[in-house]
A and B are shown apart, each in its own frame.
Chain A
Amino acid sequence: MLSAQNLQLTFNPDTPIETRALRGMSLDIPEGQFVTVIGSNGAGKSTFLNAVSGDQEIDAGTIIIDGRDVTKQTVWKRAKLVARVFQDPMAGTCEDLTIEENLALASNRGQRRGLKAAVQKAMRDEFKARLETLGLGLENRLTDRIGLLSGGQRQAVSLLMAAMRPSRILLLDEHTAALDPRTADFVLKLTARIVEENRLTTMMVTHSMRQALDVGDRTVMLHQGQVVLDVSGDERKGMDVTDLLHMFEKVRGEKISDDALLLS
């Protein structure tokens, strides 16, 4: 479904702060697979996600989604194929718009937007039904501004929005990192449910090794802009965080020093 081949990206080239964010990064994700992506700070996780969504132009390489070469496509053209939930709960929704307006916006993702009424009666019923599944009581607050909701509630709505229209790939960028542990757990469970119900091809970046192994069917570790570890199937089933660490050390011949990665 997604095929990223030999992606290269250097920030601030030819300056003292030159950073090679992606160094020949390649990854193929077949249809329906749920991949979790881990790596320490600066490994290129978010850059890779931004490259797939089109937020970040790359220097070289190709990105193919659903058989179409989208390397040069703008973000809004790619939106037809790519759904996305951001790390910052404020980023994925429009705080000035109401809940129903946000959902209406998402139900038109990648479609031509014309002069039809944006929110119609039939849509409202569908929004209500979908919001009910969250169990947050939001189905009674359709006309509330979404800025009035908490971060966790907004992230849950963002997930619903991402699943509003069919997509070829769903990108989740540490979307539970800014939430408190209980809310994070709720959003993660919701993620697993929505992905399963809609059989979405998904790539989830996470900072937590535990999370990376708990959900999804495959785990990929990035380091210095490349895939250094790729586990799935039976091998992954029996793994715990320590195994993952050992494998990483073996591959790289060095110890992980990023505490956040170990502790979370």
Chain B
Amino acid sequence: MSEYSIYGALELGLIFALVALGVLISFRVLRFPDLTVDGSFPLGGACAAVLISNGVDPFTATIVATGAGAIAGMITGLLNVKLKIMDLLASILMMIALYSINLRIMGRPNVPLISEPTVFSILQPASIPDFKAKVLIMLVIVVLVKLALDWFFSTEKGLAMRATGSNPRMARSQGVATGAMVLLGMAISNALVAMAGALYAQSNGNADISMGIGTIVIGLAAVIVGESILPSRRLVVATLAVIIGAVLYRFFIAMALNADFIGLGAQDLNLVTAILVTVALVIPIIKRKLKPKKNRV
């Protein structure tokens, strides 16, 4: 792998670390299998690209995109909490609705950002080449988000949200409005995913209607890889684990796609993802089988 592709993998890994943190909140904290992310990732990209190409400053555009993701997540939550639609189905409904909404926002399937300023071009110090600066900027963003999440989950509200996912009946009997907690958690989760989408579009130079395909699998892959490397029930560790998982996952992908002798190309990305996730899921099972049987506790 060239130096350039290493930095590329790092940058993508850090962008998808935001997705992974979002997926951690929905799948692990709330135990809400949420596929909305396949729609909220391009939603973030679409909002940011359209706003920036219309002259809005990139920071405002990114914040608006993040807010749009929060609303999308909240609607999925509402479908589930208020209309009692099964969680998975509610998120699929929102996901396909977002496909049309994203097309409406963009007005066409692809919005390019070539000469426009982006968060990265503004923050980039003149002395550092842009592919390195992007990694640095993403690292700062991801660390800030991780610290913010760690803080939130140690507050009274954050604790109530964790209880909601872990034991909703108990949470209610302690006076937690569990429905509101699901809405809030889904909003935070999809806000992070949309922020990742907005940054991805700015880094990549365009927003595309198909950029969201497989986002949930990549997010889950990062969570699963992270958990198998750094297994812990402590949330502070889990947020670090999924970030490492996201970056490592991107490295695996980059290596697989760059190794010419395997003969894989960019079009094989999703296939490689599926295989990687399967392997990450199977390894713990094989490990358990290989361990000498102990007396059951």
User: Taking beta carbons and an 8 Å cutoff, which residues of A are in contact with B?
Assistant: 53, 55, 74-77, 79-80, 82, 84, 86, 91-97, 101, 104-106, 108-111, 113-119, 145, 161
Chain A: minimal CB distance from B174 (Å)? 5
Pick 24 A–B contacts, CB within 8 A, sort by A. A75-B172, A75-B173, A79-B174, A80-B175, A92-B173, A93-B167, A93-B170, A94-B162, A94-B163, A104-B156, A104-B159, A105-B159, A105-B171, A105-B174, A106-B174, A108-B160, A110-B175, A113-B155, A114-B155, A114-B157, A116-B156, A118-B155, A118-B158, A161-B174
User: Number of B residues whose C-beta is below 8 Å from A?
Assistant: 23
B156 touches A97 (CB 8 A): no
Which chain B residue shows the least CB distance to A164? Answer: B174
A82 and B163 alpha carbons, distance in the complex (Å): 18
* Cβ of B178 under 8 Å from chain A: yes
Across-interface contacts of B162 in A (CB, < 8 A): 94, 96-97, 101
B156 touches A113 (CB 8 A): yes
Across-interface contacts of A105 in B (CB, < 8 A): 159-160, 163, 171, 174, 176
Residue from the set B156, B172, B177 with the largest chain A CB neighbour count within 10 Å: B156
Q: Tell me the total A-B contact number using a CB cutoff of 8 A.
A: 94
* Cβ of B233 under 8 Å from chain A: yes
Residue from the set A76, A101, A115 with the largest chain B CB neighbour count within 10 Å: A76
A101 touches B159 (CB 8 A): yes
A145 and B232 alpha carbons, distance in the complex (Å): 11
Across-interface contacts of B178 in A (CB, < 8 A): 76
Across-interface contacts of B278 in A (CB, < 8 A): none
A97-B163 CB under 8 A given contacts A91-B169, A115-B156: yes
A118-B159 CB under 8 A given contacts A93-B170, A96-B166, A145-B233: yes
Across-interface contacts of A109 in B (CB, < 8 A): 174-175
A79 and B233 alpha carbons, distance in the complex (Å): 28
- Among all A-B residue pairs, the 4 with the closest Cβ atoms: A79-B175, A113-B156, A110-B175, A118-B159
Q: Interface of chain B, helix or strand or loop or mixed? A: helix
Across-interface contacts of B155 in A (CB, < 8 A): 113-118
* Cβ of B154 under 8 Å from chain A: yes
A-facing residues in B262-285 (Cβ within 8 Å)? none
A119 touches B175 (CB 8 A): no
Chain A: minimal CB distance from B290 (Å)? 25
Across-interface contacts of A86 in B (CB, < 8 A): 169-170, 173
B156 touches A118 (CB 8 A): yes
Across-interface contacts of A111 in B (CB, < 8 A): 175
B160 touches A113 (CB 8 A): yes
A114 and B157 alpha carbons, distance in the complex (Å): 5
Chain A: minimal CB distance from B158 (Å)? 7
Which chain A residue shows the least CB distance to B157? Answer: A113
Which chain B residue shows the least CB distance to A147? Answer: B233
Which of B158, B173, B177 contacts A53 (CB under 8 A)?
A: B173
A119 touches B154 (CB 8 A): yes
Extra inter-chain contacts (18) besides given A93-B167, A113-B159, CB under 8 Å: A55-B173, A77-B175, A84-B173, A92-B173, A94-B167, A94-B171, A104-B156, A105-B163, A108-B160, A109-B175, A114-B155, A114-B157, A115-B155, A116-B156, A117-B155, A118-B154, A118-B158, A119-B154
A76 and B159 alpha carbons, distance in the complex (Å): 15
Across-interface contacts of B166 in A (CB, < 8 A): 94-97
A114-B156 CB under 8 A given contacts A76-B177, A97-B162: yes
B157 touches A115 (CB 8 A): yes
Which of A94, A104, A108, A161 contacts B175 (CB under 8 A)?
A: A108
